[in-house]
Structure 1
C-alpha cells in the first residue's frame, strides 16, 4: 500500500520570517536580562486557548513523502 497513519504536526515554522524571528528572540533575551537584574518585572502572556476536546489531527501519509509536519 505504501501509506501509514501518522499524527500531523501543526507548525508554522516554515512560513516565518527568520530574520524577524531572530530579532525578536534577541529582544526577549535582553528583556530577560533586565528582569534578572530587577530593573523590570517581566510577564509573558499566551494567546492560546484550552479546550475540552484536544486538536490532535491524524492522516494517511505516503511513506515516501514528507509533507505532514
Structure 2
C-alpha cells in the first residue's frame, strides 16, 4: 500500500492477494477480513463523491520502469 495525498492510496495486487482483499467496483467497496471480522471500506471514482468514501484513481494502462540487472 502506498500513500498519496490525504484522500488517495495505491494498492498493489500482491498486497491484495496476501491480505485477502476484494474490490467490488459495482458496490464501490473494498472488502477484507481482519481477525475474523469483515471490514468494508467505501470508495469513489470518476467524479463520484461520498463524504465517507476514499477517492480512487483507476488506471487503464501504466508504464512501469524497472531497475533490474541482466
TM range (shorter): under 0.3
Q: TM-score of the superposition, structure 2-length normalised?
A: 0.19
Q: TM-score of the superposition, structure 1-length normalised?
A: 0.19
Q: Which has the higher helix share?
A: 1
Q: Which has the higher strand share?
A: 2
Task: Report which of the two structures shows the higher radius of gyration computed on alpha carbons.
Answer: 1
Higher relative contact order (CA 8 A, sep 6+): 1
